[in-house]
Amino acid sequence: MNIEIHKSETRGVAHLDGIQIKHTFSYKNYYNKDRIAFGGLRVLNDYTLAPDKSLKKRALKNMEVLSIVLSGELIYSDSMTNEQVLKKGSVQAISAGTGLDILIGNNSRNNEVKFLELWVFPAVANVGPKNFSDELPSELTRNELKAICTPGNKVGSICKNLNAWVYMLHLDPNVTLQYNLNNTDDGVYVFVIAGKVWIEGHELLTRDGCAITKTDTISFKGKELTQLLIIEVPMRSR
């Protein structure tokens, strides 16, 4: 097993007039030659939008873009005339396909919006842009994996063209859970949304991440109530 720890404070940071973006991997003006991507996972951005702030962006061609709202209400619109209000717990999946213009914003005058954004290489390239969304249960069952996205348009998955498995996990203190990879040649990126956890003997704190390869199982043990994002991706095309 190979494990590479990415501490929260080692991420890149961008400040854009009331919008803060922290980058786990190279993105726009942030470049880290050692963190271009992790297999099929190209981007993991951690956004904070101040009240009354918005941002225009273009989703890269041939990327699956997954957004998970952690707090507040994210206003979304795009060049396909989609308009949505994504509340805490909302999960949105976009097939960027041939490209898509996007506007995201925070209409609140008092509260920040926090959300995570993932870019993953698609299962099939050059499809037309599409938009899907769903909401996580207000209270996830603790100590059980909740599948957000799975390959192959499976029931319960909002991602229709994603070549990855994405799970959320709420782990109680002193509870151990073993994750079994769906494909033993895949890698797993674990991002600690909040809390403190032991992963194969390594302590990770809020907003830390770790890249894991060359294993078929991974062990997690909660040190306190912890929320994890688990992303299994191919390390090469298949």
Q: What is the pLDDT of residues 156-186, one digit of tens each?
A: 556 667 789 999 999 999 999 999 999 999 9
Which amino acid would we find at residue 232?
A: E
- 61-107 pLDDT, tens digit per residue, is 788 889 999 999 999 998 888 888 999 988 888 887 777 888 999 98
Which amino acid would we find at residue 59?
A: A
- Indicate the SS3 state at residue 26: coil
User: Is 146-234 the same fold as 2-135?
Assistant: yes
- 48-59 pLDDT, tens digit per residue, is 999 999 998 876
Q: What is the mean pLDDT of residues 116-120?
A: 95
Which amino acid would we find at residue 36?
A: I
Structural contact between residues 151 and 120, judged by C-beta atoms closer than 8 angstroms: no
- 3-16 pLDDT, tens digit per residue, is 999 999 999 999 99
Residue 35 structure tokens: 């963190």
CATH superfamily of 146-234: Jelly Rolls (2.60.120.10)
Q: What is the mean pLDDT of residues 114-135?
A: 81
Which amino acid would we find at residue 28?
A: K
Q: Write down the pLDDT at residue 138.
A: 57
Measure the CA–CA gap between 24 and 13, rounded to whole angstroms. 9
Q: How confident is the model at residue 238 (pLDDT cuts 50, 70, 90)?
A: very low
Q: Which residues of 112-125 are buried (b: 16+ CB within 10 A; e: fewer)?
A: bbbbbbbbbbbbee
Residue 26 structure tokens: 């190279």
Q: How confident is the model at residue 126 (pLDDT cuts 50, 70, 90)?
A: confident
- Indicate the SS3 state at residue 226: strand
Q: Does residue 119 come out as left (phi exceeding 0), alpha (psi in the -120 to 50 range) or beta?
A: beta
CA distances in angstroms from 19 to 15, 22, 51, listed in the order given: 6, 10, 9
- 128-139 pLDDT, tens digit per residue, is 777 766 666 556
Q: Residue ranges of the domains in the chain?
A: 2-135, 146-234
Q: Is the dihedral of CA 147, 151, 154, 156 positive or negative?
A: positive
Q: Which residues contact 176 (CB under 8 A, 6 or more apart)?
A: 219, 220, 221, 222
- The verdict on domain 2-135 having CATH code 3.40.50.300 is no
Angle, alpha carbons 199-141-89 (nearest 5°): 90
Residue 77 structure tokens: 């619109």
**Terminal CA-CA length for the chain:** 21
